[in-house]
Structure 1
Amino acid sequence: MTTHTPPWSLRRLQPVTDAQIAELAGVLIDCVEGDASVSFMHPLSREHAEAFWHGVAQGVAAGERALLVAEDAQGICGTVQLVLAQPENQPHRADLAKMLVHRRVRRQGMGEALMRAAESMARDCGKTLLVLDTVTGDSGERLYQRLGWQRVGVIPGYALLPRGGLVGTTVFCRELA
């Protein structure tokens, strides 16, 4: 049996540099241009994308967020975050957010690798419950189900797609052993 080594690697960013923010902005812009419903409307300006990532970088520096990236020969091509800062009655929980994979590297197992690494990172951070939401009927929903996440329910008309039109979101949770 041969093992396949992916053409990318994963690592946690801490701290986040301006050069990494620029690369992360490129991934976010690509996802929005590809019609991913990830909180932003099309067209997404580089300035707006970089401002978002500067906020994430501040959260990482404050210990409120954990940020994983996937990198290949061209740079950052995927990412996922854990929102660690939660209300005082939920110290055991984190939100999994902004799992983004650049279109040029999709269908190579990166989404699954990012999810598994995020779960491991959550355990390392002392978290025992993860929560996320995703576009209903999207490839992300299928990925999360395949990885054993529990589907909690659907909220119809939750958000707008990047070019308009309402879409529902499916909420998932995962208890970590």
Structure 2
Amino acid sequence: MTIPVPVPPTITVRRVGADETADCLEGLAELLIDCVQGGASVSFMWPLPRARALAFWQGVAEGVIRDERILLIAEEPGGAILGTVQLVTAMPENQPHRAEVAKMLVHRRARRQGLARRLLAAVEDVARGEGKPVLVLDTATGGDAERLYRRAGWQEVGVVPDYALMPDGSMCGTTFFYKRV
């Protein structure tokens, strides 16, 4: 059994402003590539070209600028991005009270230190502040993230077998969760 090492207090979790999203693109692309290379089922296949990773984050940055999503990052004092999570706030007009938690990523070298818990707590706090008390998310069935969400009080809605592909092309189920914050 691995004993978690606490996240060093020097790692900060913060919201990225619309005016600074462009400054984060390279670090976010590195993070995404690391996670996909490590086998994370986060919408991309391996190998993940750097240009594709950058294009994805450019789209996220545009969503932040349009106030359709909120981007949080976890970074070291030197600015290296070790984790991220998004809150997608652009919802249909009959769902102004909810948001989707998306693309929570933690660099492999920063895992098992509580960073994902900190990111999740931070995105839940942001959702409360934005007046979004109902949150939803999905994750690969059977992975570490699924256990994290359960421990954090998220309620499982159900599992869809063979919903997505892992980066290596194998099928994986997806578990859907919700939480009132």
TM-score over 0.5 (shorter chain) = yes
TM band (smaller chain): over 0.9
Alignment of 1:11-160 (within 5 A): 11-15=14-18, 16-74=20-78, 75-160=80-165
* Contact preservation (8 Å) 2:85, 2:101: yes
Task: Report the counterpart of residue 9 of structure 1 in structure 2.
Answer: 12
Q: What are structure 2's unaligned runs of at least 5 residues?
A: 1-5
Q: What are structure 1's unaligned runs of at least 5 residues?
A: none
SS in 2 for 1:134: strand
SS in 2 for 1:78: strand
The share of aligned pairs that are identical, in percent, is 57
Following superposition, the deviation at residue 153 of structure 1 comes to: 0.5
The number of aligned residues is 174
* Contact preservation (8 Å) 2:7, 2:114: no
Following superposition, the deviation at residue 173 of structure 1 comes to: 0.1
Q: In structure 2, how many angstroms separate the alpha carbons of the residues matched to 1:41 and 1:57?
A: 21
> What is the TM-score with the length of structure 1 in the denominator?
0.95
Point out 4+ residue stretches in structure 1 off by more than 4 angstroms.
Answer: none
SS in 1 for 2:13: strand
Q: In structure 2, how many angstroms separate the alpha carbons of the residues matched to 1:111 and 1:59?
A: 23
Root mean square deviation, CA, Å: 1.3
